[in-house]
Chain A
């Protein structure tokens, strides 16, 4: 009994500390700048949705979200389409250099994004891809495809090879088996992979900022430009922050039961 209570108290403190900044942001987003810069208040005495209304009505703001969602979606689709067959090959076939290539994929994640920012910038400028959604989506693939291959390979290797063989004996072609039998078997893995791709692409700032100017400007870039001659627009920035958390929270909700397996790269 005592032990249970201690656990509850510890958890309560943990969650309090964790949610404090998020609560503070929510708190700020519902107040005016004058109010924020005034006295310390625990909750907004006079809540206002003005900041949110501004974001949803000003195209320079809401287009930031639209742009982010577009390139994140493109990136998730590309990463999964490329990684599913690649992971299947690594899981099922032995070929020259397979283990080396598999490890090399992961080394792509070891270099900081800044290393690749300059070459991408120069390359995309030359071939006219600058300031497009696909440019950011492709750049993020550099990190997401290897991760996706690793996670999916783990999930696929958990499926006995005999299922593949039985399907071929039954007369399935490889693509048909893959789409109708195999992918449904690893749908949890596909979900988790999509989540990891989403997460990386959604929060990544450096590439997204370097490779866009106006047409594909992501929300993070928009947020860094709220400093005006009148000073910082605290309330607006907080509201944008709250809205940025929402899609991530939604996606986590959908894959929450498979998250642990995803972090273990499917090898549980």
Chain B
């Protein structure tokens, strides 16, 4: 089972939502579409579902051309970001409704509904109306309704984004198991790099209606092909510093000097952009090879059990992500540390030249 998008574009009122995307997605693993808001993730999902018709291009589902085929005639299930249920009927009837449309017998419907409800832990809520449920339970109902029918395509459009943190973590774990059991093409969109990494599988990184990079999720995380992919696939955003390589040394930012060793050894002399994720900048010198960066603190932001420290290094803005609670006063002059073996190197056009991780 696979879905193929063949040079698909979608233009609405002169605005390009999807810009000539060609893509092949199959059922071997969970497929995550990662991109910022307005990257075109939802538009792409709606085209796959058949809710919208592409302006140009073809869509093939398991080899069959389904471009322009009405959504009702397709084998699709979808979960929206908003909790969409039928408000006037009970949870049981909500989950049963796709099965009723196929015309299954009452006994079959009952068995399948109860199974799906049990998987999503809403089996004790079947007689309630959706409005009587919490947000998480409503979304579980919507997911159950999508799972209950054996569709070829299972689309989830940021299904967990409106849920609280705890519930989200719980469902992320549960969904992985559910997806493993399903013989369907699962497509899951998200704006969060961490969620993409949890779900694993394959990833499609999107930006401004285009596909930037595809591949196995961990591989793409380790080898973001362009500076833009690195930005999308890093939260807090990746730090970039321009630098010049000369005589086996690189000078970056204002006054950072690092030796070009290890994975950097193959980079010839010239001008480059050096990227390092915030979790590879440290407040303490934990390693003899670290380079020092002298900075001024702009903001210390405590986020749960970790701290984001925004600093200024000359005209360059950097973010340090450190476990634990750290207080730094705004305006303080501090030294942060970076291990040279954590740098991504991009050429001036933004193409990846060297990654700290081996390309297996």
A and B associate in one complex: yes
Instruction: Closest A residue to B82 by CB, please name it.
Output: A162
| Contact call B98/A163, Cβ cutoff below 8 A | no
The reply to whether A170 and B97 form a contact with Cβ atoms under 8 Å apart is yes
A87 to B303, CA, bound (A): 48
Contact of B101 among A165, A170, A184 (CB under 8 A): A170
Please, what's the 1-or-0 string for B122-151, where 1 marks a CB less than 8 Å from any CB in chain A? Answer: 000000000000000000000001000100
- Chain B proximity mask over A238-268: 1 for CB below 8 Å, otherwise 0: 0000000000000000000000000000000
**Interface of A, helix, strand, loop or mixed by DSSP:** helix
**Which positions 164-182 of chain A face chain B at CB distance < 8 Å?**
165-173, 181
CB of B68 closer than 8 Å to a CB of A: no
Which residues B81-114 have CB closer than 8 A to chain A? 82, 84, 86-89, 97-98, 101-102
A160 at interface, CB cutoff 8 A? yes
How many residues of chain A have a CB within 8 Å of chain B? 15
The answer to whether residues A163 and B72 also contact, given A169-B78, A170-B145 and a CB cut-off of 8 A, is no
Contact A172 B72 (CB under 8 A): yes
Given A171-B98, A171-B101, A172-B101, CB of A166 within 8 Å of CB of B84? yes
**Among candidates B70, B71, B76, B84, residue contacting A160 with C-beta atoms closer than 8 Å:** B84
Please report which residues of chain A, range 92-106, place their CB below 8 angstroms from some CB of chain B when the two chains form the complex.
none
Asked if residues A163 and B49 are in contact (CB atoms below 8 Å), the reply is no
The yes or no answer to B118 lying at the interface (CB within 8 A) is: no
Contact among B49, B78, B88 for A184, CB-based, below 8 A: B88
Q: A165 and B51: CB pair below 8 A?
A: yes
CB distance from B114 to the nearest CB of A (A): 18
CB-defined contacts of B51 to chain A, threshold 8 Å: 165, 168-169
Closest CB of chain B to A180's CB: distance in Å? 9
List of B residues within 8 angstroms of A199 by Cβ: none
A163 and B86 contacting across the interface, CB-CB below 8 Å:
yes
Give Cα distance in the complex from A166 to B130, angstroms.
15
B77 CB within 8 Å of chain A:
yes
User: Could you say which residues of chain A place their CB within 8 Å of the CB of B70?
Assistant: 168
Contacts of A172 in B (CB 8 A): 72, 97, 101
B residues near A184, Cβ cutoff 8 Å = 88
CB neighbours (8 Å) of A168 from chain B are 51, 70-72
Given A181-B86, A184-B88, A185-B87, A169:B80 Cβ within 8 A? no
**Residues of the A chain whose Cβ atoms lie less than 8 Å from the Cβ of B82:** 160, 162
Distance of A145 Cα from B3 Cα, bound (Å): 46
How many angstroms between the C-alpha atoms of A128 and B71 in the bound complex? 48
Cα separation A165 to B146 with both chains bound (whole Å): 13
A169 and B88 contact, Cβ closer than 8 Å, known pairs A160-B82, A162-B82: no
Which single member of A169, A173, A181 contacts B49 (CB below 8 Å)?
A169
Q: Which chain A residue lies CB-closest to B81?
A: A162
Residue pairs across A and B with CB atoms within 8 Å: the count is 48
Q: How large is the interface on B (under 10, 10 to 19, 20 to 34, 35 or more residues)?
A: 20 to 34
Residues of chain B within 8 A (CB-CB) of A173 are 72
B153 to A, closest residue via Cβ: A169
Residues of chain A within 8 A of B77, CB atoms compared: 169
Asked if A171 and B86 make an inter-chain contact with CB atoms under 8 angstroms apart, the answer reads: no
Q: Are B101 and A162 in contact (CB under 8 A)?
A: no
- Please report the C-alpha to C-alpha distance between residue A258 and residue B357 in the assembled complex, in whole angstroms: 64
Contact pick for A166, options B80, B88, B89, B102, CB 8 Å: B80
CA distance in complex: A87, B86 (Å): 20
Of all chain A residues, which has the CB nearest B157? Answer: A162
Quick check: A181 and B84 within 8 Å, CB to CB? no
Taking CB atoms, residues of chain B closer than 8 Å to A160 are 82, 84
Kindly identify, within residues 33 to 90 of chain B, every residue whose CB is under 8 Å from any CB belonging to chain A: 49, 51, 70-72, 76-78, 80, 82, 84, 86-89
Instruction: Provide the bound-state CA to CA distance between A52 and B89, in Å.
Output: 47
Q: Chain A 128-168 against B: per-residue CB contact (8 Å), 1 yes, 0 no?
A: 00000000000000000000000000000000101101111
* CB contact between B88 and one of A165, A170, A171, A185 (< 8 Å): that residue: A185
Contacts of B89 in A (CB 8 A): 181
B101 closest partner in A (C-beta): A171
How distant is the Cα of A171 from the Cα of B76 in the complex, in angstroms? 9
Most chain B CB inside 10 Å of its own CB: which residue of A163, A165, A169: A169
Contact A162–B72 (Cβ < 8 Å): no
Residues of A close to B98: CB separation below 8 A: 169-171
- Docked Cα-Cα span, A222 to B84, in Å, equals 54
- Mark B297-336 against chain A: 1 for CB-CB distance below 8 A, else 0: 0000000000000000000000000000000000000000
Mark each residue of chain A from 104 to 132: 1 if its CB lies under 8 Å from any CB of chain B, else 0.
00000000000000000000000000000
Contact mask for chain A residues 178-198; partner B; CB cutoff 8 A; 1 contact, 0 none: 000100110000000000000
Measured CB to CB, the residues of B under 8 A from A are: 49, 51, 70-72, 76-78, 80, 82, 84, 86-89, 97-98, 101-102, 145, 149
Give me 15 other A-B pairs in contact (C-beta within 8 A), A165-B51, A166-B86 excluded.
A160-B84, A162-B80, A162-B82, A162-B84, A163-B84, A167-B86, A168-B70, A169-B71, A169-B72, A169-B76, A170-B145, A171-B101, A173-B72, A181-B89, A185-B88
The 5 A-B pairs at the shortest CB distance, nearest first, are namely A171-B101, A184-B88, A170-B98, A162-B84, A168-B71
